[in-house]
């Protein structure tokens, strides 16, 4: 019996994960080990602040070298999943964010495609609601902040500065959520985007972004709808943007798998 399909933000079924022998593709050893460490944290039911096995123990348990484990630890530390304390060892990061709690932090695996699709489904619920509310509640200051973020994104794309584009992208989505005047939505959007960033860094090496030019136009459409107070158009534009972003992930995954 087949499970219920994951829906994209628009309500249409999301593309199915790539699976089977055709999905086999070269991945650096440290990336594979990083994924195994996350699985180990979940299996051991480790909580934020709990001590983890040492690098030597991890290397032995995972059948790899300490050098590879050290590189994996660097990645996981950079994205906030574990914390290395000099002279004390490795610990599960004490992240108390809404989705970084012990339950969600252990649940989300950045390289699990089903988790990625579920995360986008969750983002759709958040951001369509935030855009709709923003169209009704945004103040002039909110509109200026959203427009400024959209302009930053555009400048980052035009000049080829990825960091600037990413900062503008974050500011735009957080700005829309802030304009909803619902602090729960702000935190939910912020945390979901943090997890999406983990997926990009570990699973896709930060290469996602092929539809940056479209994203700039999609941001503009969301902004105009919010500025005009059109809640339905704002939600529709937000859904289109999220669907296209998910398609970007799917396309990059296929590119890596099939060359």
In this predicted model, which residue has the larger pLDDT, 75 or 234?
234
In the chain, the percentage of residues whose pLDDT exceeds 90 is 44
Q: What is the rounded CA–CA span in Å between residue 161 and residue 155?
A: 8
Answer yes or no: are the C-beta atoms of 108 and 116 closer than 8 Å. no
pLDDT tier, 13 (very low <50, low <70, confident <90, very high otherwise)? very low
Number of domains in the chain: 2
Closest CA to 193 of 222, 163, 171: 171
Q: Of 60, 92, 124, which residue constitutes the final position of a domain?
A: 92
Query: Are 238 and 164 part of one and the same domain?
Result: yes
Tokens of 99: 């989705």
Query: Any idea what the Cα angle at residue 25 is, between residues 24 and 30, rounded to 5°?
Result: 115
Selection from 129, 259, 149 nearest residue 215 by Cα: 149
CA 190 to chain CA mean position, Å: 10
- For residue 86, what are the contacts with CB-CB under 8 A and spacing of at least 6? none
190 with 229, same domain: the answer is yes
**CA-based torsion, 229, 181, 118, 1: positive or negative:** negative
Can you give the residue range of the structural domain that contains 57?
Answer: 21-92
Q: Which of 61, 92, 123 is the last residue of a domain?
A: 92
pLDDT band at 103 (very low <50, low <70, confident <90, very high): very low
Q: How confident is the model at residue 180 (pLDDT cuts 50, 70, 90)?
A: very high
Tokens of 187: 């935190």
Structural tokens at position 23:
């999905």
Task: Pick 16 or 235 by higher pLDDT.
Answer: 235
- Res. 126: pLDDT tops 90: yes
pTM of full prediction above 0.85: no
């Amino acid at each position: 019996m087949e499970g219920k399909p994951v829906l994209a933000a628009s309500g249409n079924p999301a593309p199915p994960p790539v699976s089977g022998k055709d999905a086999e593709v070269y991945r650096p050893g440290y990336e594979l080990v990083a994924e195994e460490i996350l699985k180990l944290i979940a299996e051991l039911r480790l909580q934020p602040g709990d001590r983890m096995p040492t690098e030597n123990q991890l290397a032995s348990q995972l059948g790899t070298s300490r050098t590879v484990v050290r590189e994996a630890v660097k990645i996981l530390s950079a994205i906030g999943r574990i914390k290395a304390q000099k002279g004390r060892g490795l610990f599960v990061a004490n992240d108390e964010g809404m989705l970084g709690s012990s339950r969600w932090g252990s649940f989300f695996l950045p390289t699990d495609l089903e988790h990625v699709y579920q995360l986008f489904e969750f983002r759709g619920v958040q951001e369509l609601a935030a855009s709709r509310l923003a169209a009704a509640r945004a103040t002039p200051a909110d509109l200026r902040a959203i427009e400024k973020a959209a302009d930053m994104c555009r400048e980052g794309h035009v000049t080829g500065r990825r960091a600037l584009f990413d900062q503008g992208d974050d500011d735009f989505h957080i700005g829309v959520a802030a304009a909803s005047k619902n602090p729960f939505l702000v935190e939910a959007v912020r945390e979901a985007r943090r997890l999406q960033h983990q997926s990009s860094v570990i699973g896709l090496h930060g290469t996602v972004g092929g539809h940056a030019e479209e994203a700039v136009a999609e941001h503009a459409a969301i902004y105009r709808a919010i500025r005009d107070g059109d809640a339905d158009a704002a939600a529709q534009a937000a859904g289109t943007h999220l669907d296209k972003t998910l398609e970007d992930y799917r396309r990059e995954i296929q590119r890596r798998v099939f060359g």
